[in-house]
Amino acid sequence: MKHRRTTPKIFNRAKELRHDMTPAELKLHARLRAHRMADVHFRPQHAIGNYIVDFCTPRRKLIVELDGSQHLEQEEYDAERTEFLKSKGYKVLRFWNNDVMNNIDSVLNVIWDMLNEE
């Protein structure tokens, strides 16, 4: 099957990642799924180009990324990735896994505020 937004290889990798989400991703997904946030649909592990983002609402052009400690060592890669996604018209929000695990309500408030800016 041909996908317009990515390659079959990346699409299949995203599918694999959906079945192997981190604890922080699972916790946030539980709060975002089923249109629980302003009736907005977030897709977990969504492929765009050569990248797989943690959560995306394509209709609202918003991406939510969760970062663990490995992101401290890949700032340049993350910046390049963010620039690519912005060039496609997306807004990108980044949160530390620790924030999701310990202060999910604050994370959800930031996402909510971003959704209401539009």
Please, are residues 105 and 27 in contact by the beta-carbon 8 Å criterion? no
Domain count, the chain: 1
Query: What's residue 1's pLDDT?
Result: 47
The parent domain of residue 46 ranges over: 8-117
In angstroms, the CA 51 to CA 33 distance is 21
Query: What's residue 73's pLDDT?
Result: 67
- Tens-digit pLDDT profile for residues 13-25: 778 888 889 999 9
pLDDT in tens, the chain (118 residues): 455 777 888 878 778 888 889 999 999 999 998 667 778 999 999 999 999 999 999 999 999 999 986 645 678 888 899 999 999 999 999 999 999 999 999 999 999 999 998 6
In angstroms, the CA 116 to CA 54 distance is 21
pTM of the model: 0.86
In a domain, 3, yes or no: no
In a domain, 45, yes or no: yes
In a domain, 1, yes or no: no
In a domain, 72, yes or no: yes
Please, are residues 52 and 13 in contact by the beta-carbon 8 Å criterion? yes
CATH code, domain carrying 85: 3.40.960.10
In a domain, 2, yes or no: no
In a domain, 86, yes or no: yes
In angstroms, the CA 62 to CA 55 distance is 8
Q: What is the CA radius of gyration of the chain?
A: 14
User: How many Cα atoms sit within 13 Å of 24 on the Cβ side?
Assistant: 21
CA 47 remoteness from chain centre: 10
Query: What's residue 37's pLDDT?
Result: 79
